[in-house]
A and B are shown apart, each in its own frame.
Chain A
């Protein structure tokens, strides 16, 4: 007891000043998210299609994507829906939904646009695969995935078969990226486990007779897929030759990022309770799996965690991408810090992200600068997969709060109190989360798809209380979406960088525009853009608080929404 008292006291003495400072600083911040789903016409109720049989698929979905499908300069929303499972007998038609943004109100255009897929959908990915200036859509399903090519007139064509994007597994997250810098977006699809509804084992607690959703351990993992875009509307499955298919993970989340600074996009895949994968790109679109040695396959205890959502960003201002993964309750979320060589160290607990995440089961997530101070913050969407979890742990609940962690730029984070995050505090069974500026006002709004319940549309109310700048890039030699482009900005000696990357999170696709917080800086002195094609563009003296469109090759213009 004496030793304990001494240790705690000495810790308190050394920390007290910092605590007072941080407390004042954090108390001063609040993030007023207002859930406008119910008032704006965004009526999407996810239905997992279950009837009490606890089919494993029921608890994993679903996802949501942000895309400007009609090129009217605002983001529209695509929701993935479940489907009828044996025993489900509701008199409604379940189908995926596309909502058109109509100045803040939402119109269901799913049927009209031709994307009302009735499969059991999980996630989606967005990208302009034919470089024709409109956004195409890939939908991951429990069963055959779907690929919708945007016709440019507000409608899509199902080109699954014609494109060769054939994946009949239980797919989860997917992401478009240009693996070989040929200017065409390729596609990575994570596949989860072998499961069929006619083989639905009884799981739960035999002692009490309580049935629960099964643990992923009892199912075999399925290899992911990588499709190369041949540029003629056809994709080729290169999973085997690219070094992907010999890794049988249980993929749930995927994010691309240049983790070794060699100019090409590597891939990180979060797997469920087996080692996560890090695929290092050789620049030609061939990959070597190196998660174990790179230190991102397991947590610091050498334990494979139940990885769900993922994102990359530089959290400690050292110029290298760090990695964040959301995990199961009882596990912490995990923050891997890049040691500036493409190798990582699990610094979760030192960063203050360990204990606050232990009681939550994280899914969708994103690094974003919520307070515009130029440092990365984190948003995490939580929700348990076991609907009767309170029987197993009274501290856990099925619906859970969302969490915001504010970064201080050193790699350390502090959670913002729930009463400071507006409607984001309301518990829900969160799954997919897509992040983007839905009202084009310079801050990030969030759309959350909740399992077997209504979605959240969290609009950040008011105007940004500090300066910001945003970029919408258009590739020419590079892929038109400019995915993989690195943007570095400098303002009075303070620099930060981000990548164009709508991927990451969980079962989601985000705003592809890139938004920087500038704190009190009213101008950006220098902007350097490294395009995937190898070209570099540089600009100077841009005013803050507006979006710019940058076209590869030099043209830059202010965007007026």
Chain B
């Protein structure tokens, strides 16, 4: 390395930085500063070199020295902020980025970085404001567009998320992360075809991206294209067989096909990777529970709780199966503990209400179910059970309203239909009662047949004729969407007429 001559520009040092030769850069800039200690640019170069070569605190001190010589350097504040951000010192980072924004309110990167650190601190409203400011100042600022899309995605605003992610991809088509997020946004918005195309596009550039294969598998599962779903999640697993998430997804797909044996075997493979992951035990418990093997489910949920003792989910699920097992006191104990971990979970309050209903304590049931209905006003079952508790203490008019609300949310809730029919009857509204009970009977009979068929399918998951029967049952009650879904399963299992039937049902769906 040729030593610099005083007065020479600093290009050589910058080249070292660009080439990630950080120690040489530090040596170079230090030498400059020996003869020109107030050279702001050299101080900045030195600070960057020190930060990048693993000495961030000295780097920050030199940035600060630079700022003391020239306080009007917003990009230096950004650099300081970046060092803090990199080390998860979010409030310090926020302070630094704020300084950058104050010094130059028209600096898009300052707004973007400030928004990023605000997002990390869950200050979503301010984060959105600064991301929007960044793209307002520079409409072609791809990173800010992507960040804005991401934050809207997390916020559940998929329309805005899609808008900004599409823009990010348009201004920076080479950026795979933007492309990936756009795919995710399509998936979350249930625009499965677009998500599929997006992920396939990414894979055409980078076929080895296992996370994209996994997500593409999820998209195909959403479309109920079982063969492709399984294929892509398996590709993800082959490319990275140490990620339990991929096994959980694959197990979920087989559960959807009612192939419990496969679903369980896959979860057992996931346990070989990490036995302490509570999600796997929860998933195993869920499979047992869906087949009413409550004792086995309870065992798995207990293990899940043991590995993640502060998580309400395992306790809640234990409470649920204990309720189904009729062990009401034990259920109560688990659910109360779950509630102490997270009192905002409507499911916990719901089942506490059910336990008290079963324990013939209607006032207590009413209290918990009312709370659950506030926490989750769109849950049809909660309103039904609330109506039941009200009915038990002879609040007939209130119970009628609760049953009606339950049916507004889910018009085919057979329990609510039955209860409402009986309530109309008790209020001498016999015509309404008969009409409601007639509807109940139709749905109840259908559900009964459906449950029976599903039980048979669980025993014989590869029997495509049972799937055919189930698909036709759905069609008989006008549920063409579910019928199509089951025909997809039949097709996956090799049913010879499934493809033709799918087309026919597809026409009806149109």
Residues of A within 8 A of B (CB): 1, 3-4, 7-8, 10-11, 202-203, 205-207, 215, 217-218, 273-275, 292-293, 295, 298, 300-304, 329-330, 339, 343, 345, 349-350, 352, 354-355, 358-359, 391-395
Contacts and interface: CB of A to CB of B under 8 A. Distances in A.
A345 B422 contact: yes
Contacts of A3: 367-368, 371
15 contacts: A3-B367, A3-B368, A7-B361, A203-B459, A206-B260, A207-B293, A292-B441, A293-B433, A295-B422, A298-B444, A300-B422, A302-B418, A329-B326, A350-B360, A359-B326
Contact of A1 (B326, B339, B361, B388): B339
A349 B359 CA distance: 8
Interface string B243-274: 00000000000000000110010000000000
Instruction: Name the residue in A304, A339, A392 with the highest tally of chain B Cβ atoms < 10 Å from its Cβ.
Output: A392
Contact of B448 (A11, A274, A330): A274
Top 9 A-B pairs ranked by shortest CB distance? A302-B418, A358-B326, A7-B364, A217-B452, A302-B415, A349-B360, A301-B415, A359-B326, A7-B367
Nearest to B452: A217
A206 B459 contact: yes
Contacts of B293: 205, 207, 392
Contacts of B357: 349
Nearest to B366: A7
A14 to B, nearest CB: 9
Interface in B288-314: 291, 293-296
A425 to B, nearest CB: 20
Instruction: Name the residue in B352, B357, B422, B433 with the highest tally of chain A Cβ atoms < 10 Å from its Cβ.
Output: B422
Given A1-B340, A207-B261, A8 B364 contact: yes
Interface in B414-430: 414-415, 417-419, 422, 425-426
A293 B392 contact: no
Instruction: Name the residue in A3, A8, A202, A352 with the highest tally of chain B Cβ atoms < 10 Å from its Cβ.
Output: A3
B451 A217 contact: yes
A349 to B, nearest CB: 5
B339 to A, nearest CB: 7
Contacts of B58: none
Interface in B368-388: 368, 371, 388
Contacts of A10: 363
Given A359-B326, A392-B295, A11 B455 contact: no
Q: Is the interface of B mostly helix, strand, loop or mixed?
A: helix
Contact of B325 (A203, A215, A292, A395): A395
Interface string B346-364: 0000001000011111111
A355 B359 contact: yes
Contacts of A358: 326, 358
B426 A339 contact: yes
A56 to B, nearest CB: 15
B86 interface: no
A229 to B, nearest CB: 33
B340 A355 contact: no
B327 interface: yes
A215 B328 CA distance: 25
A293 B418 contact: no
A350 B362 CA distance: 9
Contacts of A275: 441, 444
Interface in B176-228: none
A355 B261 contact: no
A218 B327 CA distance: 28
B340 A293 contact: no
Contacts of B422: 295, 300, 345
A302 B414 contact: yes
Contact of B326 (A205, A218, A273, A395): A395
B98 interface: no
A394 B295 contact: yes
Contact of B392 (A274, A301, A302, A349): A349
A393 B288 CA distance: 13
Instruction: Name the residue in A292, A302, A343 with the highest tally of chain B Cβ atoms < 10 Å from its Cβ.
Output: A302
B434 interface: yes
B48 interface: no
A391 B293 CA distance: 10
A293 B435 CA distance: 10
B417 A302 contact: yes
B128 interface: no
A450 B294 CA distance: 28
B114 to A, nearest CB: 41
Given A207-B264, A302-B415, A330-B326, A293 B434 contact: yes
B283 interface: no
Contacts of B414: 302
B131 interface: no
Contacts of B364: 4, 7-8, 11
A330 B324 contact: yes
A339 B430 CA distance: 14
Instruction: Name the residue in A202, A304, A393 with the highest tally of chain B Cβ atoms < 10 Å from its Cβ.
Output: A393
A354 B363 CA distance: 17
Nearest to A205: B293
A392 B459 CA distance: 16
Instruction: Name the residue in A7, A215, A330 with the highest tally of chain B Cβ atoms < 10 Å from its Cβ.
Output: A7
B336 interface: yes
A483 to B, nearest CB: 31
A354 B365 CA distance: 15
B456 interface: yes
B437 interface: yes
Given A206-B261, A354-B360, A218 B456 contact: yes
Contacts of B419: 300-302
A395 B440 contact: no
A441 B93 CA distance: 93
A7 B328 CA distance: 17
A10 B366 CA distance: 14
B363 A301 contact: no
